[in-house]
Amino acid sequence: MNNEMRSIRFFRRPIFILLAVLLILLVIGGVVVVNGITTGRQTKISPQPTSVPTQNRSASSTPTTQTKTSPLLFGTNLGLFTADDQVVTSVTTRALMQQIHIRIVRIPTRRNLPDALEVQAEQAVKSIGAIPLVVLNGLRDPNALADDTRMIQNSNSVFGDSLVYYEFGNEDDWNGITISRYTQGWNTLVPQFKRLARNGKFIGPVSYQYDHGNLSTFLQGANPRPDAISWHEYTCSYKDPAADCLAHLGGWTAHVSDARAVMQTTLGTTLPIMITEWNYAADQSTQNNGLPIDDGKYNNVSFMTTWTTEALHTLAANRVFASMQYSVTNTALPLIAYDNTLTTQGMAFQTLYQAMIT
């Protein structure tokens, strides 16, 4: 090898070394930059809150705490007085229920109706993706064990392992059954029902209105403990001025607050609250002409919009877990009219869901 070649190799060697050092520095710098970018992105991502369970997201339990507005506030009752119930017979009605975002549906059991109709009602609720709340007969039915067992078996066949809420009885206090007797019936029957239900959660005492004494006695004696508590809320008679119906919404806040105090005192914790019937007047009804009593409220767009808005905001502000308007069809104050158009309250439901949930 001649001297010229040696000099060229000698000259190239430090260049190669310098290039190698620069390459190492670039790699180290790139790692630092990438790590910095990744760290920066991670600090900006907030954990997503756990969603309230729907039938599209199976759940094994009812949450005991909540910090956000529950979609299950947007629930309703079925009338289910006859086989001609609109929800059962009309595809359009069921599509409208989805459109206004009904998330939970309370299904009554009526001893004068065949089991096949109850199953059809459950299938209708399942078809819209809503969570079912099945009202068991309770102590007013002398054959409650057999009848409610059959209803739970039917629910198992329709909903499988999906979540089903079961309410033990319905306004038994209004119908002459003392809370002590109700609690005894709960302790006798509900353990048997819990073993039968595939994914059932049981709630009570289903008072026709909030009652401090009822709730206290029930929680002190109920074994098993309910998965949630329930009662019904209305604000006035159809005879009362509209202003009174609005003003009495404040009573709902007082009731929820007292219920939580009762739970904390008797149980040392709080349970989810379900208002399983609500509307402005419990005594508003359909007349022989097919129309509600003309009280100047049910057909007053301003009143119905304002009252419904205030009602749902009150429930949300008090962190109520689930609520069911009374009722979706076939009653004096429906969400969906007989001709499959949305009523004022139905339109308010749709608008409020979009504003409060989505």
Identify the weakest region by mean pLDDT among 10-14, 42-46, 144-148, 245-249.
Answer: 42-46
**Residues 249/310, Cβ–Cβ less than 8 Å:** yes
Q: For residue 309, which phi and psi values (nearest 5 degrees)? A: -60, -45
Q: What proportion of the chain, given as a percentage, has pLDDT over 70?
A: 81
Pairwise CA distance, residues 262 & 271, whole Å: 11
Please give the Cα distance from 312 to 325 (Å, whole number).
10
Mean of per-residue pLDDT scores for the chain: 86
List, for residues 292-329, the tens digit of each pLDDT value: 999 999 999 999 999 999 999 999 999 999 999 999 99
Distance CA 237, CA 352 (A): 25
The domain segmentation of the chain, as residue ranges, is 71-356
Residue 51 has pLDDT above 60, yes or no: no
| Position 186 pLDDT exceeds 80 | yes
In this prediction, residue 262 carries a pLDDT of 98
- According to DSSP, the β-strands at 273-281 and 228-236 are parallel
Q: Could you confirm whether domain 71-356 is CATH 3.40.50.300?
A: no
How far is the C-alpha of 323 from the C-alpha of 231, rounded, in Å?
A: 10
Tens digit of pLDDT for each residue in 188-232? Answer: 999 999 999 999 999 999 999 999 999 999 999 999 999 999 999
Residues 6+ apart with CB under 8 A from 202: 165, 166, 167, 168, 190, 193, 194, 224, 226, 227
Quickly state the pLDDT bin for 31 (edges 50, 70, 90): very low
Residue 36 has pLDDT above 60, yes or no: no
